[in-house]
Structure 1
Amino acid sequence: MSDPILAGFHPDPSICRVGQDYYLACSSFEYFPGVPLFHSRDLAHWTQIGNALDRPSQLRLVPDGTSSGGVYAPTLRHHDGRFWLITTNVTRGEGNLLFTATDPAGPWSDPVRLPDVAGIDPDLAWDEDGACWCTYAGVGQVRIDPHTGQALGPPRRIWSGTPGAKAPEAPHLYRIGEYWYLLIAEGGTERGHCVSIARGTAPTGPFEPCPANPILTHRSTDHPIQNTGHADLVQAPDGAWWMVLLGVRARGGTPGWHVLGRETFLAPVTWADGWPVVGGIVPTTTGRPPPDVRDDFDADDLHPRWISLRHRPADDCNVTERPGWLTLRARAGTLDDLDVTFAGRRQQHPSCRIRTLIDTAEGRGGLAVRLDELHHYEIEATAAEVRALARIGPLRTVLATRPMPAGPAVLAIRVASTDTFRDVRSGPDTVSLGVEDRDGVFTALAELDGRYLSTEVAGGFTGRVVGVYAAAGTVRFDWFDYEPVEKHNVPGE
C-alpha cells in the first residue's frame, strides 16, 4: 500500500523548495486557522510549522463560511527572497488573496486583495523580465502587480484543457528549460480526476498539449488510491523531479467510501522528449504522525494541528484560563450549528482510538467525529449523564444514555476499519462511542456505520476531524489522546 506523505484531510498540495528545504501548503476550507504549512528535508518526513492564516484580519469565515466553503487551493512559491502564498476564500466578498512572509513559519502578512482575478485556484509565476502572471481555474490568466493586487492587463483564456474533460482547474505555470509548462487538474475531483500538461515558449502561450495526457490518473483502475489529481512539481537539489498530488483511500464495498478526506501523496517524475513522465506513487509510511499523539495542554497555546470552526475567539477556546486544561465556552447548542465552539485535529488513520478527560461541572460538551453540520457522531456528557448522539442528514437522534461516572470522566471513540465484507454494501469502518472506566476498560454506548461520515454520502471537499466541543456553559478538558491502530489484511490494501 502506498501511504500518503500527509495523511488525513490535507488536499490541494502546493510545494516549493529553498536550498535543502521543502515547504508545502494545503487547503483548509471552513477551518481556522487556515492553510497548514509543513517543512521537510527529504519529501517523506514532514513537520507542521504553523498555519499561514492565523489571525482574523487574514481569514474571515464568519458569518457566511459554510462547510466546504472558505479557503480553497493555495499556491506556495519563493521568489526574490520572499515566500508568496495566493489562495481563494470563497466566503462571500473575500475572493482571491495574496500573502507574503520572510519565514514560512510566520508571521504572514495581511492580505493583498486581487479583485480582478475572477477564478479560484490561483497560481503565481514570474518571467525573466520580472512580470508576475496569475493563472487560475478555467484556465485564465492575467498579469498582476503582486504588491498591490492590481491587474496590469485584461484577463484571457490561455488553454481549455483536454476537449470534453470537465473542470480544468488547479493550474501551475513553470519555466523548465526552453519551455513554459502549464500543469492542470481536470475531470472533476472525484473518481475521474487526473493531471494533464501543456507547454509553450511564453508564459502566455500558445500551449501545446502533451500527447500522453493525462500524465497521471487512476480512474477505471483497481488502484487503492483514487481521485488522483491537483498536483504540483518540484525539483530536488540533485536535479530529480517530484510531484505532490492529492488522492483518496476509498474503503468498504461498492461504491467505496473515503472518510479521511483528500490526502497528499508523492510520485517521481522523469522526462522524455521534453515531457514529464509520472511514476507510481511512492510507497512510504514515513509521513504518518508518531504512534501516539497526546496533548496535555501544558503549552501557552494549542499545537498548530488544532483547528476550529470558522474562528477561535480566545475567550471561548484557550489553555490559559485553567493551566494544563483546554477550556471551551459554548457559543451554540450543538454540532448542527455553524458557530459551535469546537477544537479538533484531522483523523489520519483508517483505525484509531480517541480519548479525552472531561470536566462538565460547569456545562455540557463532549468528544466528536465531524464531517460537517449534517454529518457527525458524538459522545456527550453533563454532570448527570453521558449520551451517544448521531446526526445523519436530516435525522438527529440520541442513541443511548447512561449515568455520568463520579468526577471527571474519560470519553472515548474507537474507529475500526472494515476487515471483512459481509456483502458488497459493507461500509468503510465502524465508529464506536463510549466511556472508559478508571482501569481503562471501554464501554460502548453505540456502534455506527462510518459510511455516513464519508464524502460519498455527505458531499463536499473535506474529511473527518475529531475533537472536543462545548454545547452549554463552560467545559474543560485535561488531555486529548489520539492513538493510531494498525490493522492488516484489509480489503483493497
Structure 2
Amino acid sequence: MRNIIITRSFIFLNRKIKRLLLLLVTIFLCARMMGETIIPDSISNPIRTGFHPDPSICRVGEDYYLVTSSFTWFPGLPIYHSRDLTNWSLIGHALTNPKAIDFNGMTDNDGIWAPTLRYHNGTFYLITTAHGCGGNFYMTAKNPAGPWSDPVWLKDAPGIDPSLFFDEDGRCYYTGNRWDFKSTWPAQCAVWMQELDLQKRCLVGERKTLAYGHAANAKYAEGPHLYKIKDHYLLLMAEGGSDYNHAVTALTAKSLWGPYVPCTVNPVLTHRHLGKDYPVQSLGHADLVQTPTGDWYAVFLGKRIVEGGLVPLGRETFLCEVSFQNGEPIFNPGIGVIGNRLKRPPLPWTPVSKTDKQNDFESSALSPEWATMRIPEQPFHHFADGNLFLSLRPEMADSLVCPSMLLRRVHSHNFSATTTMSFSTRRVNEWAGLVLYRTAKGYYSLLKGKNEIRLTKVLLGKKTIIATLPWKEKSVILRLVAKGATLTFYAGLSNDMLYQVGEVQSVDAVSDNKVNRFNGTGVGIYATSNGKQSINKASYQWFEYKEEN
C-alpha cells in the first residue's frame, strides 16, 4: 500500500514538473518571439507624413539623407536620416542661424522653397530659394546633422527651385527655372543651367535654357534635377503647378548641354488622370536615389484627401521604385499609381526610436521637432521647475511676425493634442492656450483669458468666435481631437472631466485653399497680449501629441 502511495505521489509530482516545464518553455518562446523584430513586406506611404513638401534625397554609403521645404518655420530645412528608406529620424536643421534670413513680413507660403541636397567629395551641399527674402543660396556641411555654413547668396540666379549636379569631371552645374522672358503660351517657364564655381562661389560661363517642359504647352516647368545614368543625362522636372495637375516629366540627352528630348512615357508620374476624387493627389517634384545594389527609388510630394475633398496636412513625402526602360524612367513599374502601401525596399531593416508622445518640459531645451513661426528677435520661452513658460507679447498669430507660439508638425488625420496650463490675468487682451495653425489666415485657437475659455476659428482671414466657456480657475487642461475632416475641442480640470467647447468643427480652416497653399499644419501652444505690452507669462506643465488609429 505504501509503495502504491509513493508511486501515485511520484506520478502526480512528475505531472506538476511537466506542466511547469511546459509553462517555462511557453514563456521562453513568447519572450523570444516578442524580442524578435518583425520585418514587414510592405510599408506605409507617405514615408514622411504631414508637412514635408518638395523632398530631395542623397545617399552616402549606406546612409540616406532627406530634406524638405520649411517656408517660414524656424529652425528651417529639416534633415532626416535613414538606412532603409523606411525608418527616418530627424537629425538636425540646416537653417539655424537667426541672423541668416529675415522672415518678418513674409506670408506663411513664402520663405524656404524646394531645397536640393547633394554630396560630393566629403562635403554636403544644400541649395534652395528664400522666396521673398533674398533669392537663391547654397550652404555646405561636413556632417548633414550640422553645423551648416551661412548662406552663400547667388545674386545672378533668377527664378526658383535650384538644384546642383556634379558631373564625372567634378565640375558643378546649377539648374533652376525662370519666367522673366516673353512667353509663347500661358505659364511657360524655362529650365536653365550654368556652371557654379564653388571656389569663387558664383555662376560662371554660358547660361543655357535646357527645356520649357516636356510639351509645347507645358505649364510651370520647375524643380529640375539632373543625373548622369550610364551614358545618358536625365533631366527630371515638375510640371502643371503644385495642385491637381501636378506631374513629373523626364527628358534625356547624350551630352550635358543637350539637346534634351522628352521621354515617350511622359508624364512619368501623375494622378491628374484619375479624377479629383482619388485619395492621393498632386504628385510631383521628384528626386532620385540609387541604392548600393543598383536599385532606383524616387521621393516626391503628394496630398492625401479626406472627406469633402479637404487636405488638412498639406503636401507630404512619398516613395516609389523606379526602373529604366530604354533609358527612360518608369515610376512604380507594373502599378503606375501611388497608394497608401508599397513594397518595402530590400535594404537591411533599421528601426529608429520614436519621438516621445508627451513633452514634460523637464529639460532646458525644446526637442528638435518644435519650431517657431518666423524667427524670434528675442527669446520668448524658458524652462523652470519642470514647466515651459511662454511670455505674452504684442505679436499675434494673425500678424506676419514671430508670435509667442511653438508648433510641431501634425502627422496624421486622426490625432489628439493635449496640454496642461496655468495662467491668470486681469486684462481682457491677454490670452494663452492651444493652437492648430496652418497660416496667419487659417487656424484654430483654444485660449484661456480673464474669466473664460474661448474657441476661435480663422478661415480665409475671417476671425469668428465659435464658443466660450466660463472659467475662473488658474489651471486648465486643453485638448483637441481630430478625426478625418472634423475637430472637437475640450477643456477641464482633469482628463476624466473635460467639457466640450462648442460644436464639432471642420478642418477647413487649416486645409488647402487660396491662402493655405504650400506649407502644412502644426499644433502647439500660443500666448499673446494682442498688440499691448505685457510682463505676464503662461506656464505649461506638459504637452502630448498622440496619433489615433
Q: Which residue of 1 aligns with 2:443?
A: 376
Output the CA distance in 2 between the equivalents of 1:133 and 1:440. 60
Aligned partner (choices 463, 475, 496) of residue 440 of structure 1: 496
Match of 2:404 in 1: 341
Q: Which residue pairs with 1:193 in the alignment?
A: 246
Distance in 2 (alpha carbons) for counterparts of 1:328 and 1:147: 45
Q: Distance in 1 between matches of 2:302 and 2:79?
A: 19
Q: In 2, distance between residues paired with 1:65 and 1:217?
A: 31
Following the alignment from structure 2 to structure 1, what is the Cα–Cα distance between the partners of residues 55 and 507? 26
Q: What is the CA distance between 1:394 and its match in structure 2?
A: 4.1
Output the TM-score relative to the length of structure 1: 0.90
SS at match of 2:294: coil
Residue 463 of structure 1, aligned match among 517, 520, 529: 520
Q: Structure 1: which amino acid aligns with 2:75?
A: P
2:191 corresponds to 1:136 = no
1:113 maps to which residue? Answer: 153
Shift of 1:289: 9.2
- Name the % identity: 37
Deviation at 1:36, TM superposition (A): 0.7
Question: 31, 39, 45: which one pairs with 2:73?
Answer: 31
Structure 1 position 257 matched with structure 2 position 257: no
The corresponding residue for 2:341 is 283
Separation of aligned partners in 2, 1:360 and 1:148: 55
Gaps of 5+ in 1: 418-428, 487-493
Letter in 2 for 1:430: T
Alpha-carbon offset, residue 384 of structure 1: 2.9
Tell me, yes or no, if the aligned pair for 1:292 and 1:484 is still in contact at 8 Å: no
Q: Which of 46, 57, 66 is residue 15 of structure 1 equivalent to?
A: 57
Residues 341-360 of structure 1 deviation map (CA, whole Å, 9 limit, x = unaligned): 21101111011110111121
- Counterparts of 2:416 and 2:516 in 1: how far apart (Å)? 25
2:389 alignment partner, one of 327, 337, 347: 327
Change (3 A) 1:29 1:291: closer
Give the gaps of 5 or more residues in structure 2.
1-42, 178-189, 345-350, 530-535
Distance between the aligned counterparts of 2:207 and 2:392, measured in 1?
46
Q: TM-score, normalised by structure 2?
A: 0.81
2:255 to 181, 186, 202: 202
Q: Per-residue displacement from partner, 1:392-412 (whole Å, max 9, x unpaired)?
A: 224212222223253421111
Q: CA deviation at 1:162?
A: 2.1
> What is the DSSP-based 3-state SS (H/G/I as helix, E as strand, rest coil) of the residue aligned with 1:455?
coil
Contact 1:5 1:285 in 2 (8 A): no
Q: Per-residue displacement from partner, 1:224-283 (whole Å, max 9, x unpaired)?
A: 211000000000111110000100001213xx1111010001000111111111115471
Tell me by how many angstroms 1:377 deviates.
0.7
CA drift at 1:201: 2.2
Q: Which residue is equivalent to 1:423?
A: none
Q: Over aligned residues, Cα RMSD in angstroms?
A: 2.1
Given that 2:119 and 2:125 are in contact with CA atoms closer than 8 Å, whether structure 1 keeps it comes out as: yes
CA deviation string 1:294-322 (max 9, x = no partner): 11122332122111111134521333xx2
**3-state SS, counterpart of residue 195 of structure 2:** strand
Q: Distance in 2 between matches of 1:98 and 1:275?
A: 30
For 1:411, the aligned partner's letter is L
Where in structure 2 are the equivalents of 1:236-255 lying within 5 Å? 236-253=291-308
Letter in 1 for 2:110: G
Q: Is 1:216 equivalent to 2:273 in the alignment?
A: no
2:37 matched residue in structure 1: none
Q: List per-residue Cα deviations over 1:371-404 (Å, max 9, x = no partner).
A: 1111111100135321111112242122222232
Structure 1 pair 223/397, CA: closer, same or farther in 2 (3 Å)? closer
Larger Rg: 2
Question: CA contact under 8 A between 2:89 and 2:352: conserved in structure 1?
Answer: no
